[in-house]
Structure 1
Amino acid sequence: MPTVTYAGTAVTVNDEGFFTDPAQWREDMAPLIARQEGITQLTDRHWQVIKFMRHEYEAKGTGPTVRVLGKTSGVSVKELYQLFPHGPAKEAAKIAGIPKPRGCV
């Protein structure tokens, strides 16, 4: 498995760049990952989704789908696509340091 260095820490990722061990993630890594995804600044709304993604992963073992995100995160589907334009569930999961959610292409 490849490794990537974020904020001075080497982490193991899969071929698509998703963390293989979410415990390696730290909040200071999120802005660096976001920049790689083309998101220049993480707003409070981004953080709301990122923290929700991590909470759902810890509780259920997988990240939520876009539909679930839109219904339960407090952020509408329309806004999710504005915040994470390249696929909200997939992009937010990557920034949150969790594996790609089931159902994401």
Structure 2
Amino acid sequence: MEKAICNTTIEVNEEGFMINFSEWNKEIGEELAREAMIELSERHWEIIEYIQDEHRKEVPLSIRKIGKSGVVDIKEFYALFPKAPLKTATKIAGVPKPASCI
């Protein structure tokens, strides 16, 4: 399905996750964050970039993996992305929903 965001039309699945990562840009990420009621800080962007890098390497993501990444600990991850942090962070990052998310 299509979604209009930031004067662009992107393809998303039924849960709102982007289908084509190449369509993502920072403005789209900011708007997706607003929809999740998150105001992005520099710290959020560091985590989003880490998630995108892992996606490019085709590394499966999980809360445990992110917690052991050295980029962010679990407590901070939950503080930055409350309510389903992995699901929310990956959606903002424009990557597919991780298999570890329900």
Q: Same fold (TM over 0.5)?
A: yes
Whole-angstrom distance in 1 between the partners of 2:18 and 2:70:
22
- The gaps in structure 1 that reach 5 residues or longer are none
The answer to whether structure 1 residue 28 and structure 2 residue 40 are counterparts is no
For 1:9-60, what per-residue CA distance to the aligned partner results, in whole angstroms no more than 9, with x for missing partners? 1000000000011111011111110011121x10011001111111000001
Conserved in 2, the CA contact under 8 Å of 1:52 and 1:73?
A: no
Over the residues paired in the alignment, what is the CA RMSD in angstroms? Answer: 1.1
Where do 1:42-53 residues align within 5 Å? 42-53=40-51
For 1:47-100, what per-residue CA distance to the aligned partner results, in whole angstroms no more than 9, with x for missing partners? 0111111100000154x1111111115111000000000111110000000100
% same residue:
36
Give the total of aligned pairs.
102
Normalised by the length of structure 2, the TM-score is 0.94
Q: Per the alignment, do residues 73 and 102 of structure 1 end up closer, same or farther by CA in structure 2, a change over 3 Å counting?
A: farther
Q: Per the alignment, do residues 80 and 43 of structure 1 end up closer, same or farther by CA in structure 2, a change over 3 Å counting?
A: same
- Residue 93 of structure 2: aligned partner: 96
AA paired with 2:43?
A: R
Where do 1:18-97 residues align within 5 Å? 18-39=17-38, 41-60=39-58, 62=60, 64-97=61-94
